[in-house]
């Protein structure tokens, strides 16, 4: 054992710590770690690494004792057999809760503690260590440490201990995701975030902050298929107590989910998610809602040709103020509605820099393409046969070749049904050949009806649960008894109501 003590701490690797932990008693391991820390501090003084000598003599020993106490508490937490129960995990979480500030102030002393503690058995202790590193992730050293340790952590951690402090796990995961996005490695983060989602959610029907991080990584890295598989699972439960989810997470779920669907050209479904984000309850207009509304306008134009009205449940404050944040987008939608090509192109050029700054210029260009497609689609309601030259003129396209390309894409997407006579340069429009009486159509209809029946059942169950909730019943009784007084501006005597 002696040869370990003569190594500077900076040269102690994971294998050294594993060997020490196997061969030494627990109290000796903590002591060896303190010796290594003292050597590291002495090396820093010799190299002029900015150590405050005045503070070192006065508080260095106390810091060592505090960190040693954290290590001792973590090692003493040894539930058996197997994983910890929720009661054990919550008790241990309360025991080490006071160490947050200490750990955050000393991230340079945490690496050996990671090596001392087993990930699965000491999940909560690792979570506290990861949070301390995450708080210092703006520095390159701790940024790399966070990425490495989080990826080790998420594959082996105990889900029971995670549920004892879901908010802390949410913070660590969010910081990891932002770090990976910032350094351009969002694609590599997806598999680890998928594991984090599985660890964090009580069931597939629960929304978690880790799911939001996963969708963000999928949208940034353009790996839309991973996000799409997750979006195919319906979410019905939002439980902050169990998942650490907050209002921003709900909005970001809709927003990033829409970005994933837009990447797969599923405009109608993306529009529905953006519409939900705009209609969420709120007392102020958030930046997330503003960005969702801008994209909602553009996606509505692409998918429907008109901007849908906001949901009836949209908060009044949002309805009043939202349009003021998206005047340029509303002007673009107005030009689209007037069916004037030059006016539309003028709005695009006038606000090009803004659209690019918002990251929406790609959607704006798709709006212009949608405008030309809608011009061609309107011709099918009037003509059975039309030349490519006439289509180009009516749709205000530059050449017959461009008109032919638009028609071919629309036929491929089943926006129209037609045949092109290349020799004559004519387009013959046709009716939809599907009468929706096939077996495939009936199976699709049956699937939709089953989903609708399930949703109706859930709505009815939620309505029953709310109607039996004590807080809801109390509020409704107060409204019935004192509603007239409150409407007239009177003051409610809550003490008298309580006695009653």
pTM of structure: 0.79
Measure the CA angle with vertex 222, ends 217 and 225; round to 5°.
90
Structure tokens at 210: 């880790």
Structure tokens at 356: 């690019």
Secondary structure of 150-210 in HEC code, one letter for each residue: HHHHHHHCCHHHHCCCHHHHHHHHHHHHHHHHHCCCHHHHHHHHHHHHHHHCCCCCECCHH
Give the model's pLDDT for residue 40.
42
Give the model's pLDDT for residue 442.
87
Give CA separation, 81 vs 78, 158, 384, 475, in Å.
Answer: 9, 14, 77, 47
Q: What is the mean pLDDT of each run of 10 residues along the chain (500 residues)?
A: 37 41 41 43 43 37 61 82 75 88 90 90 93 93 94 91 92 96 95 94 92 96 91 88 92 96 94 94 93 96 90 90 93 93 93 95 95 91 90 90 92 89 89 78 89 90 88 83 56 48
CA distance 27 to 37: 16
Beta bridge partners of 237: 206
Give the model's pLDDT for residue 277.
95
Measure the CA angle with vertex 146, ends 144 and 148; round to 5°.
70
Query: Going by DSSP bridges, is the β-strand pair 418-421/426-429 parallel, antiparallel, or unpaired?
Result: antiparallel
Give the model's pLDDT for residue 15.
42
Greatest C-alpha distance within the chain: 95
Give the model's pLDDT for residue 473.
87
Query: How far is C-alpha 240 from the chain's CA centre?
Result: 15
Give the model's pLDDT for residue 140.
92
**C-beta separation of 261 from 279 below 8 A:** no
**C-beta separation of 3 from 36 below 8 A:** no
Q: Which residue has the tokens 């080490």?
A: 96
CA distance 222 to 259: 9
Under DSSP, the state recorded for 244 is: -
DSSP per-residue letters across 451-487: HHHHHHHHHHHHHHHHHT-HHHHHHHHHHHHHHHHHH
Give the model's pLDDT for residue 126.
95
Residues 51-85 have pLDDT tens digits of 343 333 333 333 444 788 888 888 888 775 456 68
Q: Is 114 helix (H, G, I), strand (E, B) or coil?
A: helix
Residues 475-492 have pLDDT tens digits of 888 877 766 555 555 544
């Amino acid at each position: 054992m002696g040869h370990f003590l003569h190594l500077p701490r900076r040269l102690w690797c994971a294998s050294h710590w594993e060997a020490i932990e196997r061969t030494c008693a627990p109290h000796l391991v903590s002591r060896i770690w303190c010796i290594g820390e003292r050597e590291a501090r002495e090396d820093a003084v010799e190299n002029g690494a900015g150590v405050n000598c005045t503070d070192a003599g006065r508080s260095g020993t106390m810091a060592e004792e505090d960190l040693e106490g954290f290590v001792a508490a973590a090692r003493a937490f040894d539930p058996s057999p197997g994983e910890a129960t929720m009661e054990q995990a919550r008790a241990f979480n309360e025991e080490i809760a006071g160490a947050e500030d200490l750990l955050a102030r000393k991230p340079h002393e945490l690496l050996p503690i990671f090596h001392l503690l087993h990930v699965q058995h000491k999940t909560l202790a690792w979570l506290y260590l990861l949070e301390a590193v995450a708080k210092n992730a703006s520095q390159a050293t701790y940024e790399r440490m966070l990425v490495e340790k989080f990826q080790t952590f998420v594959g082996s951690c105990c889900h029971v201990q995670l549920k004892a402090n879901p908010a802390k796990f949410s913070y660590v995961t969010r910081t990891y995701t932002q770090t990976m996005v910032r350094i351009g490695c969002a694609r590599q983060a997806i598999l680890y975030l998928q594991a984090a989602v599985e660890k964090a959610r009580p069931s597939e029907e629960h929304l978690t902050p880790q799911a939001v991080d996963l969708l963000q990584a999928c949208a940034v890295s353009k790996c839309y298929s991973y996000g799409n598989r997750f979006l195919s699972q319906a979410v019905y439960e939002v439980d902050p107590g169990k998942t650490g989810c907050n209002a921003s997470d709900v909005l970001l779920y809709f927003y990033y989910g829409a970005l994933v669907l837009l990447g797969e050209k599923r405009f109608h479904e993306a529009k529905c998610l953006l519409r939900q984000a705009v209609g969420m309850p709120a007392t102020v207009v958030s930046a997330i809602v503003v960005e969702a509304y801008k994209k909602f306008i553009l996606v509505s134009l692409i998918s429907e040709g008109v901007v849908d009205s906001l949901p009836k449940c949209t908060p009044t404050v949002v309805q009043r103020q939202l349009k003021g944040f998206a005047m340029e987008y509303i002007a673009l939608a107005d030009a689209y509605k007037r069916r004037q090509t030059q006016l539309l192109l003028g709005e695009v050029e006038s606000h090009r820099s803004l659209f690019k700054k918002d990251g929406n210029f790609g959607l704006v260009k798709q709006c212009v393409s949608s405008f030309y497609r809608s011009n061609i689609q309107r011709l099918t309601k009037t003509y059975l046969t039309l030349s490519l030259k006439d289509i180009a003129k009516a749709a205000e396209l530059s050449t017959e070749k461009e008109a032919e390309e638009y028609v071919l894409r629309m036929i491929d997407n089943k926006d129209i049904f037609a045949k092109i006579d290349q020799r004559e340069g004519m387009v013959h429009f046709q009716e939809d050949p599907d009468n929706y009486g096939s077996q495939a159509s009936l199976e699709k209809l049956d699937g939709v009806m089953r989903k609708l029946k399930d949703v109706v059942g859930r709505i009815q169950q939620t309505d029953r649960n709310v109607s039996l909730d004590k807080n809801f019943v109390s509020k409704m009784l107060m409204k019935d008894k004192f509603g007239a007084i409150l409407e007239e501006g009177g003051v409610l005597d809550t003490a008298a109501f309580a006695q009653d």
